């Protein structure tokens, strides 16, 4: 089997408990009362996209929709605003996940930037159509910060799957 260039090392299978724990932790981080600054990165969206790319059979569009509803209720936003954005974000992340894994992690960050920008544009469009106020031009920083955080999230969330570096004559991998 030909392995993608970006993942030359073999990884252990992802633990489903760890996957859902990280998603719950990202949801909790989004629920923290840090104010409503538009440039804050959406950690839940970032974690959703990461697991959509690396484990598309475990974390899909349905999970993104449910997490989006949680965020809508928390933010007292128009019901379905985050759900629509997260669902589209997850759909397109799953669509490009095979191609994305061929790139190095910094190149992946560039590849996911349009996904994050489109998700924030959908949220903004729904908010503006519902009669909300424009949050300011600092909203353009959020997708940029999310894509800059992609390498950090990749290292942290793939750490439990990395094999221990103890090859010997009987176990060369």
Q: How does pLDDT run across 17-28, given as a tens digit for each residue? A: 999 999 999 999
pLDDT, mean over the chain: 89
Distance CA(12)–CA(94), nearest Å, equals: 21
The answer on pLDDT for 101 being more than 70 is yes
Helix, strand, coil percentages (3-state) for the chain, rounded to 5, are 65, 0, 30
Query: Please, which pLDDT band fits residue 13 given cuts at 50, 70 and 90?
Result: confident
Closest C-alpha among 81, 69, 73, 86 to residue 135: 81
pLDDT (average), residues 56-81: 92
Rounded to 10 degrees, the C-alpha dihedral 128/133/136/137 comes to 20
Q: What is the pLDDT of residue 3?
A: 54
The answer on pLDDT for 114 being more than 70 is yes
Residue 63 CA, distance from chain mean position: 12
Q: How does pLDDT run across 140-168, given as a tens digit for each residue? A: 999 999 999 999 999 999 988 886 666 66
């Amino acid at each position: 089997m030909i392995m993608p260039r970006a993942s030359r090392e073999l990884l252990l299978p992802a633990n489903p408990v760890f996957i859902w724990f990280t998603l719950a932790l990202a949801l909790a981080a989004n629920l923290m009362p840090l104010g409503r600054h538009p440039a804050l990165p959406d950690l839940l969206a970032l974690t959703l996209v990461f697991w959509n790319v690396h484990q598309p059979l475990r974390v899909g569009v349905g999970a993104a929709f449910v997490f989006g509803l949680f965020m809508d209720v928390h933010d007292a936003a128009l019901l379905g605003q985050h759900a629509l954005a997260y669902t589209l974000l997850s759909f397109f992340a799953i669509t490009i996940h095979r191609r994305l894994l061929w790139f190095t992690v910094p190149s992946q960050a560039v590849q996911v930037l349009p996904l994050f920008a489109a998700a924030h544009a959908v949220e903004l469009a729904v908010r503006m159509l519902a009669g909300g106020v424009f949050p300011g031009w600092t909203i353009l920083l959020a997708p940029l910060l999310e894509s800059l955080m992609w390498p950090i999230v990749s290292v942290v969330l793939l750490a439990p799957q990395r094999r221990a570096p103890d090859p010997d004559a009987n176990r060369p991998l």
